[in-house]
Amino acid sequence: MLTNAEIKRIKSLKDKKFRDEYAQFAVEGEKLVGEALASAFKVEAVYRESEIGQEAMSRMSNMSSPSPVLAVVNKPEPRPLILERGLYVALDSVRDPGNMGTILRLCDWFGVTTVFASMDSVEIYNPKVVQASMGSIFRVNTVYCDLPAVCKRFTDAGMPVYGTFLDGESIYSTVTGSDGLIVMGNEASGISPEVASRVSTRLLIPSFSKGVGPESLNVATASAIILSEFRRRS
């Protein structure tokens, strides 16, 4: 039987402070728990409502309607980064958990296996990121890093660094390759000046709106369009 202290500790994993302290995070739902069990991540424990009771599950859960299963998963050790030819995504100060999770899911769909994120981007083990990723956090390697330095590594290796800007060249007319780094910026302010100075090709997703239209696209939506266009040409 779970003790109050154990329930409290599992519930505390909703906060980054405790995820860092215990080096663990929680996963909820049959699909996500199944993804965790099938991954290389170490699952510390699995709790089922049928075994621990509805009250205990409700107290542990971070969801408005608790799922029938919850797992506690250990954070993996950082993987050694070997920069090979291929397509990568970088996220510059992406703060919204839903956007982060959706972008990881998109990268998983389009075969991008490594994502670089600035240190001030939202943590991928945030419960809302975990849910929005639909399991992709277990397959996409996310590296928190000094983003300008990573951009420089790409250019030093002879690979382009792409970025999305309102004054860029249309993605539909720009020649792109199958290798390089695609930088997506903050929801409100876009790509920071320091990172922008490292971008070698500035891209634009043009609007075809007649008259007054939206000022910009959501970063996750923009990521989907850019990745789709890159893969269409590769």
pLDDT above 80 for 210: no
The verdict on 93 and 186 lying in the same domain is yes
pLDDT above 90 for 130: yes
For β-strands 161-170 and 201-204, DSSP reports them as: parallel
Domain annotation covers residue 108: yes
Closest alpha carbon to 222 in 166, 154, 148, 175: 166
Tens of pLDDT, residue by residue over 3-30, are 999 999 999 999 999 999 999 999 999 9
* Domain end (from 74, 97, 124): 74
Cα 166 to its chain centre, rounded Å, is 23
Bridge partner list, 220:
none
Proportion of the chain above pLDDT 70, given as a percent:
98
What number is the average pLDDT over the span 97-109? 98
Q: Which domain holds residue 17?
A: 12-74
Domain annotation covers residue 6: no
The verdict on 29 and 132 lying in the same domain is no
Instruction: For residue 68, give the amino acid letter.
Output: P
User: DSSP per residue over 72-127, as a string?
Assistant: EEEPPPPPPP---SSEEEEESS---HHHHHHHHHHHHHTT--EEEEETTSPPTTSH
Q: What is the domain-level CATH number for residue 51?
A: 3.30.1330.30
Domain annotation covers residue 30: yes
Tens of pLDDT, residue by residue over 214-230, are 677 899 999 999 999 99
- Binned at pLDDT 50, 70 and 90, residue 75 comes out as very high
- Binned at pLDDT 50, 70 and 90, residue 211 comes out as low
Confidence (pLDDT) at 42: 97
Confidence (pLDDT) at 185: 95
What number is the average pLDDT over the span 107-111? 98
Cα separation, 48 vs 64, in Å, equals 17
- What does the block give as tokens for 140? 């996409």
Exposure pattern of 69-83 as b/e (b: 16+ CB <10 Å)? Answer: bbbbbeeeeeeeeee
Cα separation, 87 vs 115, in Å, equals 10
What number is the average pLDDT over the span 67-82? 90
Domain annotation covers residue 178: yes
Q: What is the domain-level CATH number for residue 150?
A: 3.40.1280.10
Confidence (pLDDT) at 166: 87
The verdict on 139 and 207 lying in the same domain is yes
The verdict on 202 and 155 lying in the same domain is yes
pLDDT above 80 for 80: no
User: DSSP per residue over 176-193, as a string?
Assistant: --SSEEEEE-BTTTBS-H
N-term to C-term CA, the chain? 54
Domain count, the chain: 2
What number is the average pLDDT over the span 75-84? 84
CA angle centred on 162, ends 159 and 166, rounded to 5° = 165
Proportion of the chain above pLDDT 90, given as a percent:
83
Closest alpha carbon to 159 in 140, 141, 192, 182: 182
- Looking at every residue in the chain, the average pLDDT score rounds to 93
pLDDT above 70 for 213: no
3-state secondary structure of 144: strand
Confidence (pLDDT) at 209: 81
Confidence (pLDDT) at 230: 94
- What does the block give as tokens for 119? 């240190």
Instruction: For residue 202, give the amino acid letter.
Output: R
Closest alpha carbon to 133 in 46, 29, 44: 29
Tens of pLDDT, residue by residue over 131-152, are 999 999 999 999 999 999 999 9
Cβ-based neighbour number of residue 129 at 10 Å: 25
